Amino acid sequence: MTAKAMPRLLMTLILAVMPLMVQAQQVLIPAPPQIAGSSYILMDPASGKVIMEANSHERLPPASLTKMMTAYIVERELDENRLTMDEMVPVSVNAWQTGGSRMFIQEGSRVSVEDLLKGVIIQSGNDASVALAEYVAGSEGAFADVMNQQAQLLGMKNTRFETATGLPHPDQYSTAYDMALLAAAIINDYPENYPLYAEKHFTYNNIRQPNRNSLLWRDPSVDGLKTGHTEEAGYCLVASAKRDDTRLVAVVMGTDSNETRAREVQKMLNYGFRYYETARLFSSGEALLENRIWGGEKDQLKLGLASDMVLTIPRGARDSLESVVEVDTVTKAPVSAGDELGTVTIRFNDEVLAERPLVAIESVPEGGIFKRLLDAIKLFFHNLFN
């Protein structure tokens, strides 16, 4: 529903976090580094801003990056109380016999969801992935259907899963961009489980295995996520790091070695943190200004944003951001929370970085008959002289 309103007046506001009357600074940013991989991307998961990429929508074999979706679905089941970490999962012959990287679970045993999840994330266990898939959905094929449904919900438009493990399959593919979206969802949706991705070792059945993400040892700011490798896919890596208030996700697919994938992701992360930062400007429901409302139970209406405004900006540009607010000149009750009554535009060096609707963050019903009559008289003279 849209509130009753007259044509809008363009007005510029100076907001505390963004001084407007500061001379714009020249921020010099070099071209991104060259990356040795079939495709790659560097993204800010808070804003969704893509800082650098090449062939990021090309469909490629995802190898064990697939297990990020396996883990995400298990984390969703945990969040929705359909699983618990201490729940015991039976290990089938099929799970036990799954080849490739393994957690070394035993046929006929029962293993906790927590241990299996660690086996998937830290040890890249194919056997653990199949055991969880069978327990959650009844079979690995049914679990793959759930994986594909979840991929569509996350906006992963160029992804199709056929296995819970990432073992080669002719109809299984994904992209660097889609894997960055999935990494962002893991980080943002289930932060309570994200520390698992930073664990460097996990021991099960008296077998201690290291996390294959070598950047966990090289860069203290890196705290996840997943490696992948098959002959068809090459060496792949999705990594995330946080420095100060900025987090970035880097993905590289199709490199020629473990060392190459680590080195190229490190190059992307260093470039991103050196030249960009995350600016958290306004929070959802925060009152940015108050506007006169006519004929309502109250005279002032609080306006703000329906969702957080988070931008990725050149490092050092924060003090040169400009905010321009376009707001309705006359707003009449009733107004419902969420009604759009203007826009907020953020600019830097004459470039529009973001534009969001300015909405009512509270409802204001019509006032009584005498209040409406009095405001109608006031509004007549207001319009007459303005």
Told to judge if 323 belongs to the known catalytic residues of this protein, a careful annotator would answer: no
- Cα distance between residue 172 and residue 60, in whole Å: 8
* Closest C-alpha to 35, from 313, 271, 328: 271
**Residue in 47, 56, 101, 124 annotated catalytic:** 124
Told to judge if 124 belongs to the known catalytic residues of this protein, a careful annotator would answer: yes
Residues facing residue 342 across a β-bridge? 327, 358
**Residue in 39, 47, 56, 64 annotated catalytic:** 64
Q: Is the CB of residue 240 less than 8 Å from the CB of residue 195?
A: no
Task: Tell the burial category of 26 from Cβ atoms under 10 Å away from its Cβ (0-12, 13-18, 19+).
Answer: exposed
**Residue in 39, 49, 67, 118 annotated catalytic:** 67
Backbone torsion region of residue 141, taken as left when φ is above 0, otherwise alpha when ψ lies between -120 and 50, otherwise beta? alpha
Q: Cis peptide leading into 334, omega within 30 of 0? A: yes
- Cα distance between residue 307 and residue 13, in whole Å: 20
Q: Is the CB of residue 367 less than 8 Å from the CB of residue 333?
A: yes
Told to judge if 67 belongs to the known catalytic residues of this protein, a careful annotator would answer: yes
Helices (H), the chain: 67-79, 93-97, 113-121, 126-137, 140-153, 176-189, 215-218, 258-275, 369-385
Measure the CA dihedral 366/369/373/378, to 10°: -40
* Side chain identity, residue 212: R
Task: Please give the positions annotated as active site.
Answer: 64, 67, 124
